[in-house]
Structure 1
Amino acid sequence: MENGAWQGVSRLIHGDCVSVMREMPERSVDLVVTDPPYKLIGGGRADTPDAPSGILRNNDKRLFAYNDISAEEWLPEVYRVMKNDTQIYVMTNYINLVHFIKVMEQTGFRIHNLLVWEKNNCTPSRWYMKNAEYVIFGRKGAAKPINNIGSKTVHTFNNIIGNKLHPAEKPVELMRYYIENSSFSGDTVLDPFMGAGSVGVACEDANRNFIGIEKDREYFDIAQSRLQKGVISYG
Structure 2
Amino acid sequence: MHLPKLTDAPLYTTGLGAAYVGDSLELLRQLPDESVNLVMTSPPFALQRQKSYGNKDEHEYIDWLAEFAELVHKKLKADGSFVVDLGGAYRKGVPVRSLYNYRVLIKFCDEIGFHLAEEFFWYNPSKLPSPIEWVNKRKIRAKDSVNTVWWLSKTEWPKADVSKVLAEYSEKMKKLIKNPEAYYTPAKRPSGHDIGSSFGKDNGGAIPSNLLQIPNSEASSSYLKLCKEVGVSAHPARFPAKLPEFFIRFLTDPGDLVVDIFAGSNTTGFVCENENRNWLAFEQSREFALASVFRFVQEKPMSEIKNIFSLLAAGEKVDTLGLAQRSII
**Which consecutive unaligned segments of at least 5 residues does structure 2 have?**
6-14, 89-97, 130-134, 164-206, 225-233, 297-319
Q: Judge which range, 31-40 or 118-127, deviates more.
A: 118-127
Cα distance in 2, alignment partners of residues 88 and 174 from structure 1: 14
Structure with higher Rg: it is 2
Taking a change above 3 Å as real, the CA distance of residues 14 and 138 of structure 1, as seen in their structure-2 partners, is same
Per the TM alignment, residue 131 of structure 1 is displaced from its structure 2 partner at its CA by 1.6
Cα distance in 1, alignment partners of residues 53 and 126 from structure 2: 27
Cα distance in 2, alignment partners of residues 90 and 210 from structure 1: 17
The residue identity in structure 1 corresponding to 2:75 is V
Moved over 6 A (4+): none
Normalized against structure 2, the TM-score is what?
0.59
Q: Which of 50, 54, 63 is matched with 1:66 structurally?
A: 54
* Helix, strand or coil at the partner of 1:31: strand
Per the TM alignment, residue 145 of structure 1 is displaced from its structure 2 partner at its CA by 5.9
Paired position in structure 1 for 2:43: 36
Cα distance in 2, alignment partners of residues 20 and 67 from structure 1: 19
Q: Judge which range, 4-13 or 22-31, deviates more.
A: 4-13
The residue identity in structure 1 corresponding to 2:79 is D
Q: Judge which range, 119-128 or 168-177, deviates more.
A: 119-128
Does 2:101 align with 1:97? yes
1:1-235 alignment runs, 5 A limit: 5-6=3-4, 9-41=16-48, 61-68=49-56, 70-94=64-88, 95=98, 96-105=100-109, 106-124=111-129, 125-126=135-136, 127-144=141-158, 146-148=160-162, 150-160=207-217, 162=219, 165-227=234-296, 228-229=320-321
Do the aligned residues in 1 keep the contact of 2:161 with 2:251 (CA within 8 Å)?
Answer: yes
Do the aligned residues in 1 keep the contact of 2:53 with 2:236 (CA within 8 Å)?
Answer: no
Cα distance in 2, alignment partners of residues 137 and 194 from structure 1: 18
Do the aligned residues in 2 keep the contact of 1:40 with 1:93 (CA within 8 Å)?
Answer: no
The residue identity in structure 1 corresponding to 2:86 is T
Instruction: Describe the superposition over 1:19-55 as per-residue Cα deviations: whole angstroms up to 9, x where unpaired.
Output: 11111110111111100113123xxxxxxxxxxxxxx
Normalized against structure 1, the TM-score is what?
0.81
Do the aligned residues in 1 keep the contact of 2:80 with 2:159 (CA within 8 Å)?
Answer: no
The residue identity in structure 2 corresponding to 1:174 is L
* Helix, strand or coil at the partner of 2:273: helix
Cα distance in 2, alignment partners of residues 24 and 221 from structure 1: 23
Do the aligned residues in 2 keep the contact of 1:84 with 1:142 (CA within 8 Å)?
Answer: no
The residue identity in structure 2 corresponding to 1:191 is D
Taking a change above 3 Å as real, the CA distance of residues 19 and 71 of structure 1, as seen in their structure-2 partners, is same
**Which consecutive unaligned segments of at least 5 residues does structure 1 have?**
42-60
Q: C-alpha root-mean-square deviation of aligned residues, in Å?
A: 2.5
Taking a change above 3 Å as real, the CA distance of residues 6 and 103 of structure 1, as seen in their structure-2 partners, is same
Do the aligned residues in 2 keep the contact of 1:160 with 1:170 (CA within 8 Å)?
Answer: no
Do the aligned residues in 1 keep the contact of 2:261 with 2:283 (CA within 8 Å)?
Answer: yes
Instruction: Describe the superposition over 1:128-168 as per-residue Cα deviations: whole angstroms up to 9, x where unpaired.
Output: 12221110111001324632252211011111265763221
* Helix, strand or coil at the partner of 2:162: coil
